[in-house]
Structure 1
Amino acid sequence: MKPSAAIASIRSLCSLGLPGEQLVPALLEALHRHIPSSRNLFDWTDPDGNLIRYYFDGPIDAQVARHYFEEFHNKREAEAMTGFRQSVMGRAVVRSAAELDNPAFFRSALYNEIWKPQGLHSRIEAIVRNSRDEPLGSLVLYREIHEQPFNAKEETLLGNLVPYIARGLEAEATLPHDFVVRGDRKAVLSISGEGELLHVSEDAHKMLLLSQGGITPETAGRAPRGSDYPTLALLAAQIRRNVGASRRQVSLTMDNAWGRFLFEAEPLAPAASGVEPQIHVTIQHHEPRAIAWRRALDSLNLSVAQREVCTLLRAGYSQAEIAAALSVAPSTVADHVKKIYTRVDVHSVRELCERLERASG
């Protein structure tokens, strides 16, 4: 994808007026398409550069997280690289991958005890600041050992994206009310009849934390316990109340700044004597429809201008209104619409919207 298309895509995403907690996961996912990476991370900070909470691709490794925050964060980290707070409070917009591409870093305890166990080898980092030049956070893109280091063009592109990301994080946001299921954001766990956590899938710890308000240095470094999540005790209590009922499955929906979380619980009977009964719980994360629709639109083979026209068509604008909104000739809009229909293989605005809704749902 050309840099101009990448900028347009991220700019559009950051203009949706979403809370930062819902924007950041979508942003990290979108960045993979524009600057290929194995794992992305965003750290929110206060104006003094102190880490508040964070979000990253992939599951939580509580042991590695605890070790990092106890031993390295703003401490031994400085043995191998610029410390977190110093980096956030510095003047750089993008910290180059070349800073850490040296034998000393790869011999460091930070690399071998924190980076390497997670498959991380190189990174570029962008410091995002608000209009008052105060830090909003740190955006980090990582690559693995077998991947090529980030190059100068990718670093430049990341720097060009930072102003739009800052505006998206700083803008006044409203909580969406229209959500769609993300099939790839699902966790499974089992609890006892009293809500004690027994077994977890790879993503369960992260999903539980997000459903309860977010990931912090303290919560990420602590192994998950049922007592930390009142939702699990509530599900267990509902299961107990349903003993003898024809349908014992229960569900619970939670909405917060991170999106919608659907909990579904079902009792499991012992398969053999001496085995304690358990409760099977699934957690399904839903995302705002606006993000899903934007991702579906980005997946089509359309130009930047054609995507803008699609967005306005979906919003109910006529072609004449689109021409006025984009300050172009009506014939230009008509040409865009014709090309959109041909590329997407539809014949009307209704079919176009249906196609995008199917792709986003």
Structure 2
Amino acid sequence: MKRAADLARLRTLASMGLTAEAFIPALLEALHDIIPSDRNLFDWTDAQGQLIRYYFEGTVDHEINQHYFENFHNTREAEVMPAFHDAVMGRAMVHSADQLDRPEFFRSALYNEIWRPQRLHTRTEAIVRGARGEPLGSLVLYRGPGERKFTRAEEALLAQIAPYVARGLQAPSAEFAQAEYVPRRGRRAIVCLDDAGTLVHLSPEALKILLLAHGGVTPDSAARVPQREDFPTLTALWQQHQRAAGSSPQGPMLTVDNAWGRFTFESCALKSLARGPDARAMLHVTVQHHEPMDVALRRALDGLALTPAQKEVCLLLRTGHSQAEIAALLGVSATTVADHVRKIYSRLDVHSVQELSSLILRLAA
């Protein structure tokens, strides 16, 4: 029963009309409750199996990325595991954790120079393909040192999940500029520039959020030493800061909307307490990543003790549909919808659509 509910949850997520860029982070997060893992990754590929861009849960380390793409990607990695291109273009849908569970892998340069510094120890991988069999990407689930490897049953479940990933990637999406957004806790970065406009401090998540705000994480962008000039939004803030010349205590703010979500950049000038040549002012920039409201609402509902059908009724009630309209949309009787509403109100201790909507919005925010 739980597996059916998990797959229904992914089916709904894949049908929400999200951009592929908003769908993948929501999917990777949802997978943790279905197949427990430490961190998840999705690699987008072209039809020839070449890596285009990727989204990885966790920090982006440009030094590790540079080392990997220069020395291992599609080259030395083939010494101990299928090369990326071969894995994507091969016939297998799932690459089992058993492939890497041997001494040669754990002694390899790939493991000790790329995996180990990121606390990655074992993985299972599903190749996601379109309706004509063309590769869309690679979905990888990782576990860290001391964690058990993925079981055959988990890998069989991953194979069942792959078609839903393909559906979400290929589903028509709404125009992101018209979406409603909510700030996501944990997706907040801090950047500091010195008095010459040079990047001098980045919080752990900052590089990834900056890359997403400027189009995404690619093999090239993730492997470069981060510089202000690579990020036009930071450059625009720096230029505005220079023109303001301390005339306002609060620095300029900019908002960027793209397929990954909304990014708000807020700046503030920092005055040094040091004296003499060490007294260097800095520009402090906070970047907040906002996700689509629909994703936040879905996450909030997933945390409630409701059946999948009741969660769908909640969303439809919140968007203003009457019970009769909900019955028609879901293909059930009006009596069934009324029974769902009664149970929803009882379990959540609410007494009206307005109270229900307010509760869901509070949880989402």
| TM-score bracket, shorter-length normalisation | over 0.9
Look up the equivalent residue of 1:323 and give its one-letter code. Answer: A
Q: 1:246 offset after TM fit, Å?
A: 4.2
- The residue aligned with 2:241 is 239
- The residue aligned with 2:326 is 322
Secondary structure of the equivalent of 2:33? helix
Look up the equivalent residue of 1:251 and give its one-letter code. Answer: M
Identify the match of residue 294 of structure 1 among 285, 295, 298. 298
Identify the match of residue 208 of structure 1 among 190, 194, 210. 210
Q: 1:353 offset after TM fit, Å?
A: 1.1
Look up the equivalent residue of 1:262 and give its one-letter code. Answer: T
Q: Does 1:4 align with 2:8?
A: no
2:322 and 2:232 map into 1 onto residues whose CA distance is 50
Q: 1:27 offset after TM fit, Å?
A: 1.0
- The residue aligned with 2:311 is 307
- The residue aligned with 1:197 is 199
- The residue aligned with 2:182 is 180
1:95 and 1:3 map into 2 onto residues whose CA distance is 21
1:113 and 1:249 map into 2 onto residues whose CA distance is 41
Identify the match of residue 220 of structure 2 among 215, 218, 221. 218
Identify the match of residue 354 of structure 2 among 337, 340, 350. 350
Q: 1:215 offset after TM fit, Å?
A: 0.7
Q: 1:325 offset after TM fit, Å?
A: 2.3
- The residue aligned with 2:257 is 255
8 Å CA contact 1:193–1:236 kept in 2: the answer is: no
- The residue aligned with 2:146 is 146
8 Å CA contact 1:191–1:232 kept in 2: the answer is: no
The percent of aligned pairs where both chains have the same amino acid is: 56
8 Å CA contact 2:14–2:23 kept in 1: the answer is: yes
Identify the range of structure 1 (125-134 vs 151-160) with the bigger mean alpha-carbon deviation: 151-160
Give the unaligned 5+ runs of structure 1. Answer: none
Note the alpha carbon deviations across 1:184-227, whole angstroms, 9 max, x for none: 10000111244221111111111111111111111111121112
- The residue aligned with 1:78 is 78
8 Å CA contact 2:249–2:269 kept in 1: the answer is: no
1:175 and 1:39 map into 2 onto residues whose CA distance is 29
- The residue aligned with 1:272 is 274
Give the unaligned 5+ runs of structure 2. Answer: none
- The residue aligned with 1:35 is 35
Call closer, same or farther: CA 1:237–1:194 in 2, change over 3 Å: farther
2:217 and 2:18 map into 1 onto residues whose CA distance is 19
Look up the equivalent residue of 2:342 and give its one-letter code. Answer: K
Look up the equivalent residue of 1:122 and give its one-letter code. Answer: T
Note the alpha carbon deviations across 1:140-195, whole angstroms, 9 max, x for none: 00001211211122212211111111011012222332111112100001112442
RMSD: 1.4
Look up the equivalent residue of 2:162 and give its one-letter code. Answer: V
Look up the equivalent residue of 1:120 and give its one-letter code. Answer: L
Q: 1:244 offset after TM fit, Å?
A: 4.9
Q: 1:95 offset after TM fit, Å?
A: 1.5
Call closer, same or farther: CA 1:246–1:212 in 2, change over 3 Å: closer
Secondary structure of the equivalent of 2:4? helix
Identify the match of residue 338 of structure 1 among 336, 342, 353. 342
8 Å CA contact 1:25–1:55 kept in 2: the answer is: yes
Secondary structure of the equivalent of 1:199? strand
2:8 and 2:207 map into 1 onto residues whose CA distance is 34
2:257 and 2:196 map into 1 onto residues whose CA distance is 24
- The residue aligned with 1:282 is 286
Alignment TM-score, normalising by the size of structure 1 = 0.96
8 Å CA contact 2:47–2:136 kept in 1: the answer is: yes
Secondary structure of the equivalent of 2:140? strand
Within 5 Å, which residues of 2 pair with 1:33-182? 33-176=33-176, 177-182=179-184
Shift >6 Å, 4+ stretches: none
Secondary structure of the equivalent of 1:126? strand
1:152 and 1:301 map into 2 onto residues whose CA distance is 30
Q: 1:356 offset after TM fit, Å?
A: 0.5
1:136 and 1:272 map into 2 onto residues whose CA distance is 54
Q: 1:345 offset after TM fit, Å?
A: 1.6
1:5 and 1:335 map into 2 onto residues whose CA distance is 20
1:46 and 1:105 map into 2 onto residues whose CA distance is 28
